Amino acid sequence: MSTPEDGGTVVVGVDGSVGSRAALEHALADAARRGARLRVVTAQAQPEFWATAYGPVPIPAGAAELHRMRVAARGWVDDVLAAHPREAAAVPIEVSAVPGPPADALIAASGDADLLVLGHRGRGALAGAVLGSVGMRCALGAACPVTVVRPRPAPARPRPSVRRSTVADVMTTDVATVSPDATFAQVADVLATRRVRAVPVCDDDGVLLGAVSEADLLVTAERTDPAPERRWWRPRPRHTGRSAPAGAAGATTAAGLMSAPAVAVGPGATVAHAARLMREHGLAWLPVVERDGRVVGVLGRSDLLSVFDRDDDGIRAEIVVDVLGRLLGVGADRVSVDVTDGVVTLDGELDTRADARLAVRSAERVEGVVAVADRLGFRVDERSADLSEVRRY
């Protein structure tokens, strides 16, 4: 526990999921309020194999795997710190990767902590359907109070698979905006302070009017250095396909600097649609607006790619353990799972056609899966099976 000389320790478990990010943001804010240290713990149980007649034998994670886990956790932490610079400057942070089941690692870390913070749901595609979840075990076994944080509710319905991910699933909701009468210096200060490349311009009701980017500011900055005379033998610069900055030279407020109307996307749009808009308009980010025009988030390229930023081994382990083992009750001897660059190949034979379809749909729901190649066979097609001899009880 904490001592009178310090503000104590807040422990948070992370795994890269949406719930994990919400827990990390809550833990950072709580540690800043307490004046406490923040200990970030990540753990990953390895797949279990029936090596003996007495039960499964876990295979411990090696040094390379622990290093990969630590680097991934550090990246998740850096993303949150960039969005919350005030708290980041005030809280000392320690990141550790621990082998073994996440619940055991977090319970052990709670021994000298003042608070343990968890996300409501982790990465597991079937996390809500499996008894003995990490949250339940920590609530019963932790040596300190436990806080379970729910992620912010998304306007769209929960996505059933990665290929149907919506903008609301990956967008950043902590948005900095400026008013139309904000000065050049104020806009530049927001861009520098928040470390963003563009900022939405909104009215008093939060309705999007336009956007000011770094390129728009450079139009005014160019006035201090007149363009040199172009020599006749030098070719003209080729068009890059990107939209030209709309800010007018000499503009002093956001209203004159901004590009309007700004290209925007709704929270219910698919990730594929948002990516297409970025590519077609040559943009690095998009404001996210509701139907009434209010800004509810921003979407960057890194947000889009975060859906697929997961290693193949982790994807395969989740499919083997969660989908095949826990949901369907089959082992690697009946279905083989191969994952290459996020593309999953399922090969083998299951009992029924319904089982095969369920395996494919459940594999599609695993985060990080780009596509599923279905090579599954089945012994019985229940659509045409003869059930006349089946007795009713």
Integer angstrom CA distances of residue 324 from 33, 115, 318:
44, 35, 9
User: Is residue 305 a contact partner of residue 365, using CB atoms and an 8 Å limit?
Assistant: no
Residue 49 shares a structural domain with residue 122: yes
Of 138, 153, 168, at which residue does a domain stop? 153
The rounded mean pLDDT for the chain is 79
Residue 27 shares a structural domain with residue 78: yes
Residue 275 shares a structural domain with residue 337: no
Q: Which residue has the tokens 């295979």?
A: 59
What CATH number corresponds to the domain at position 190? 3.10.580.10
Residue 335 shares a structural domain with residue 261: no
Average pLDDT over residues 267-271: 85
pLDDT tens digits for range 21-74: 889 999 999 999 999 999 999 987 555 454 455 555 555 556 777 888 888 889
Residue 23 shares a structural domain with residue 108: yes
Residue 24 shares a structural domain with residue 53: yes
Whole-model pTM over 0.85: no
Whether pLDDT at 265 is above 50:
yes
Residue 290 shares a structural domain with residue 356: no
Task: Report the domain count for the chain.
Answer: 3
Residue 14 shares a structural domain with residue 147: yes
Residue 316 shares a structural domain with residue 208: no
What CATH number corresponds to the domain at position 38? 3.40.50.620
Q: What gap in Å lies between CA 364 and CA 330, rounded to an integer?
A: 18
pLDDT tens digits for range 180-205: 999 988 989 988 888 888 899 999 98
Residue 199 shares a structural domain with residue 267: yes
- The answer to whether position 110 is within a domain reads yes
pLDDT tens digits for range 279-324: 888 888 889 999 989 999 998 887 777 666 678 888 888 899 888 8
pLDDT tens digits for range 352-366: 888 999 999 989 888
Residue 55 shares a structural domain with residue 83: yes
- The answer to whether position 281 is within a domain reads yes
Task: Quote the domain boundaries for residue 328.
Answer: 312-380
HSE at residue 215, side-chain half, CA atoms within 13 A, is: 10
Residue 245 shares a structural domain with residue 130: no
Of 257, 273, 299, at which residue does a domain stop? 299
Q: Residue 305: which residues within 8 A CB-CB, separation 6 or more?
A: none
Among the residue ranges 104-113, 146-155, 201-210, the one predicted with the least confidence is 146-155
pLDDT tens digits for range 216-251: 888 766 655 555 665 655 565 544 444 545 555 567
Of 276, 299, 322, at which residue does a domain stop? 299
- The answer to whether position 4 is within a domain reads no
Confidence band, pLDDT 50/70/90 cuts, at residue 121: low
- The answer to whether position 164 is within a domain reads no
